Structure formats: structure tokens, C-alpha cells
Chain A
Amino acid sequence: MEAQLQVRQPTSHRSTRRMREKILLYILMVVVVFLVCVPIIWLLITSLKKDVEYLSYPIKFLPAVPQWSNYTNVFDPRYDFLKHAGISAGLALGSSILTVISSSLAGFAFARFPEVKARDKLFAIVASMIIIPQIVTVIPQFIIFSRLHLTGTYWPWVIWGIAGSPILIFLFRQFFIRFPRELEDAAEIDGCSTFEIFWRIFLPNAKPVIATAFILNFVAVWGDWFAPLIYLNSENTTLSVVISTAYVNPQGQPLTTLTLAAVVLYILPMVVIFFFGQRYIMQGTLTSGLTGR
């Protein structure tokens, strides 16, 4: 990864001035990175405080004793943390698998069937759906789904997954269009059906796009707050909705630092996914084709 990301630099001898410039850049970089990381550090610190420490004035920067119990208390059966986390994970996983399959199928079709007349017009629709705001469809969709008695169930996520996503179709299409034609022809002569060509030759070679598409969709569904808010009820909703308000104790008082521990656990899977997937995202799978090449 390192090698691909680095910029070509003219080879020149290192003068002391360059050295000094480098040190200054390092300092600048460390300062910027630190500033950007402050909110995350503060979240971690605060999640280890007692509520009274969080609510102290003037501010106490560090907890007297780190309250690791905040993290174990999150799993108290009262909060059903694992149940809601499981629902979030299940929805994200299921819809991502469906979306990757349907988007890659459509992307393959748009890339490899130049002889179909309507192809370019249909693809123009896909491309325009990336830009056209989807907010006008959200409410009517909700009304239609509720008429079909599908609100309160997970069926909308299945249906959204099957329908694929324009931006992912676009990504797959851009990737598949660069495969050499001979590959397809050779496979066809060997008796492969079109689906086999897609499944056994194109898809196995599209791992960076599959990873990117999967990650983008997983992160979006895991983090989505609005759809579960309007579609699901408090019993079967996702973690996003549950922790959008603070956990409360039996007296109804908010337990802020406990909730913050839950928030950290809620972010954690995203960070893990990002660390495993970043080489694909940073490689420019996402940004390829942006400059017109």
C-alpha cells in the first residue's frame, strides 16, 4: 500500500534546509492529526468517567478511577445491547450481500453488452440516479410499504438490497469495462454461459470493488438512523435508534457515560471494517475515473 500511495519525488541531495522543512512538516502533521483525533480521545476518556465526573463543573479532564464497569454494564440485560447490535449487523450484512450481487450483475451487464440498444439510455438513468436526491421517494416509499404492511418488518431492507445501488452499479461497471474482450470470447468458446463468465471469471477478479461496495453499504446501513426510526418499532429497531437517546436508569435519569461506552462499542465495528478495507478504499477504487481517465 505504502508504495502505491507515495508520490514520485525528484531525487535530490538532502540539504539541511530540506531536513528542517521535513521536521516542520512532521510537527505540523502531528498537530493536525492530534487535533482531528481530539474528539475521539475525549469520547474514550469520557466513556470511562462516572456520570458525576462528566457533570462536574469546572470540568474534570480525567476520571479519578477509570470506570471500566461502564463497558460491562452496557451488556446488562435491561438494555438488550446485543439484541439491537445483532439486528444492526444482520440488516447490514444481509442487505450488503444482496446489494453486491445485484449491483455487480447490473454493472457487468452495463459494461459487457455494448450491442444492446437501450443500454446507454438505461445506464444514463443509473448515472442520474446517483445525483438526483432520493428524499422525494423516501416518504411515498414509506407510505407504500406501510400499505403493504411491511413496516415493522425487515422486508424493506431485503427489497432495497435486491434493487442494488446506482453508485455501486457505476463502480462495478467502471471496473468491468476495462477487462479485455478476449477473456470473454475464450470462455465462451470453452462453453461457459454468460452467467458463468460473470460468476467464475469477472467476479473473482473484482475483489477490490466487491470489498469497497460491501464496506460502503455495510457502513451506510449500520449507521442509518432515519430508516429504522420510521420503519421499525422500539422492540426490533437497530442500535442506531436505540443509542440516539441516552440510556436511562430505573428512575428515568439519563446515564450519559454508560451511553458513551455503548457509543464506543457501536463505532468499533466500523473502525475494524475500515482498517481491513482501507487499502481498497485508499487505493482509489472509489475515486477511479474521477479525473476522466
Chain B
Amino acid sequence: MISAKPQLRGASPPITRAKQSARSQRRQRTFYLFISPWLLGFIFLSVIPMVVGFLISLTNYDGLNLNKLAFVGMRNYGTVFKDPSAQYGFSRTLIWAAINLPLWLAVSLLIALLVNVKLKGNGIFRTLLYLPAVIPPVALVWTWKILLEQNFGLVNGVLSLVRPGTAVPWLSTYAMLGLTSIALWNGLGFGMIVFLAGLQDIPQELIDAARVDGAGNFQVFFRVILPLISPIIFFQLILGLISALQQFVLPMLAATSASTKIPARSVYLYMVHVYRTLFGTGRFGQGMAMLWLLIVVIGVLTVIVFWTQRFWVYSEVRGEE
């Protein structure tokens, strides 16, 4: 294993200038050769589709009408603001994010704190706690369907032991709660290992020093640990926000009513509406406009979170060790 330490870069061995420039040209070519698979992919799979997508959002394209394609300007964007379903979906998405993110951060952090304590068999506990994170979405939904099913699910079954006849509709009326449990369960493995990495980076001397100064467990947590892992919380918050606003797989797979084929009203998220606009009614122009607006919202919210960083994210300029 090669030792991993930072190195000064850019100091090439002394050679004559002519040789140097031939070498640098060759290196230049090699660089572009090496990144060419990614670069070509970036151009053909990201740049061009984004341009195409934006152009589509300005048309009445419905997947079939290429011969009658009409340029409609920003009309699709205007329609989104007049579409009550889009507005409703957007408000549900904000609620979804507002419930999910804090819950996920808090539970992941608590579990990370727990498994960070030196105990025998900790490795096994960590592995078991990470297990839900490796379950793919489709299996995840099956796993929870049999827990949350209204009549035959385990949760209502156990509740019925205490209060016979309990039949909470976890996947329709209370789908916001039901799906939150699913997302939380699935996400805590990743949250845990990221927080764990942060916790293990905290120098023990700092905690010891705080204790010597008479700090109790709570003070150590709020005054030492929390500020030191705030960059991690920040990182998780950004990633979590971006993915929460795009959530649609869970409502589509877990909360779709068998009769209407529409996800339950409480989890009719924005992306669900986009999906139905695109694939249900084939209004690609409209759907692409909705997607672009979502991207703008995600961008704005991300910038806002970045801006709040200065108030709560602890930073120090760390020297290289």
C-alpha cells in the first residue's frame, strides 16, 4: 500500500526546454484521451439532452406530433403556475422534505452516536444497522407493504393486540407517515456511516479537555460534538434536500391505489405529477417545463442553504497534517 500523504505537484524533473514542450504536448493529449469517455458522455448524455429538454419545454411535443410540432414559447411554464395539481404536488413535496430531512438527520446522528461507543460486537451492530440501506427500492416497497397493509400488515396487527380492530390506512390517508418511515428506514444506514466518519474525526483530546473542565454529556454533545460535525450535517442536508425534492419512486410504488392507479393524495408529490404528465398524458413539453422549474427551485433552495452556512456551520482553516 502506498502511503497516502499530500504531495507538492507540478515540479517536473529538469529537462531541456524543447524536450519539455514536446512532453507537455504529449501529456496534454494523454489527459484528453483519458477523460474522453467521460467528456463525450457529458456532451452526449448531459449537455445535448439538457438543450433538447429545454427546447422540448418550449413546444407542444407529445411524443407523436413531430410533424405538427409548434413553438409555444414560455406558455408551458405559465401553465405550471395555473395548474392546481402542480401547486398541490409542490406543497406536498415541501411538507415531505420538511418532515423527512430533520427526522432523518436526527435519527442517523443518534444511531451514529450509539454505535460510536466502544462496545464489543459493535461491528455486527453496525452491519445490521446498515442492512436496510442495501435493499433496492422495489424490494423496500414490498418489505413495507406487508408491514403497513391496512388489514393484514404487521403494524396494524400489533396495534390490534392493544386495541382490537385497528386498521390505520398507512399507505393511503396516512401515506405521508407511512412513506416517511420507509424512507427513514432505508436512509439511516447511509446517514449513520457518514456521521460516524465525522464523529471519528473528532480528536478525543477535545472531548477529554471539555470533561476536565467539568462539561457533562449534554454539554459535550452540544458544545463540542455538534459544532465539530456541523459540516457533515450541512453536507447531508444538501444531499438530502436535493433527493427529497425529487422523490417519486416511493409514492409510485408503495402508495398507488390499485383501482385508480394514482398515488394517494397525501403523497401526490410534485414529481409524481410530472411523471403522470409525461407518461400518463404524454405531454412532454409541459412535463419538461415542470422539470426545469423544479431544477430552478432546487438550485435556489441549495443556494439558500449554502448561504445559511455562515450562521451554523463550524469551520476552521485546517493545516495539512
* Interface set of A (CB-CB < 8 Å, partner B): 1-2, 5-10, 22, 25-26, 28-29, 32-33, 36-40, 42-43, 46, 54-59, 61, 102-103, 105-106, 108-110, 113-116, 119, 122, 125-126, 129, 131-137, 139-141, 143-144, 159-160, 162-164, 169, 177-181, 183, 185, 194-195, 198, 205, 219, 222-226, 230, 240-241, 243-244, 256, 259-260, 263, 266-267, 270-271, 273-275, 278, 281-282, 284, 286-288, 290-293
Whether the pair B27, A116 counts as a contact (CB closer than 8 A) is: yes
In the assembled complex, the Cα of A222 lies from the Cα of B194 at a distance in Å of: 23
The one of A46, A103, A219, A244 that contacts B38, using a Cβ cutoff of 8 Å = A103
Q: Which of B267-286 contact A (CB under 8 A)?
A: 271, 278-279, 284
The one of B7, B38, B152, B284 that contacts A54, using a Cβ cutoff of 8 Å = B152
Whether the pair B1, A139 counts as a contact (CB closer than 8 A) is: no
In the assembled complex, the Cα of A185 lies from the Cα of B7 at a distance in Å of: 13
In the assembled complex, the Cα of A230 lies from the Cα of B35 at a distance in Å of: 29
Given the known interface contacts A122-B39, A293-B318, the answer about A10 and B208 at a Cβ–Cβ threshold of 8 Å is yes
A225: chain B residues at CB < 8 Å are: 136-138, 249, 253
In the assembled complex, the Cα of A102 lies from the Cα of B38 at a distance in Å of: 7
B151: chain A residues at CB < 8 Å are: 57
Distance from A220 Cβ to chain B, minimum over Cβ atoms (Å): 9
Whether the pair A282, B188 counts as a contact (CB closer than 8 A) is: no
Given the known interface contacts A136-B288, A225-B138, A290-B198, the answer about A180 and B7 at a Cβ–Cβ threshold of 8 Å is yes
In the assembled complex, the Cα of A140 lies from the Cα of B2 at a distance in Å of: 44
B48: chain A residues at CB < 8 Å are: 140, 144
Nearest to A277 among chain B residues (CB) is B134
Given the known interface contacts A33-B129, A39-B185, A179-B2, the answer about A243 and B138 at a Cβ–Cβ threshold of 8 Å is yes
Distance from B14 Cβ to chain A, minimum over Cβ atoms (Å): 12
Majority-rule SS of B interface residues: helix
A115: chain B residues at CB < 8 Å are: 10, 12, 24, 27
Whether the pair B3, A163 counts as a contact (CB closer than 8 A) is: no
27 interchain pairs, CB-CB under 8 A: A1-B123, A5-B200, A8-B204, A33-B128, A39-B144, A56-B152, A59-B152, A115-B24, A136-B295, A137-B53, A139-B278, A159-B45, A163-B42, A164-B37, A180-B7, A194-B27, A205-B1, A223-B137, A223-B138, A243-B138, A259-B142, A267-B134, A270-B135, A270-B136, A292-B231, A292-B318, A293-B318
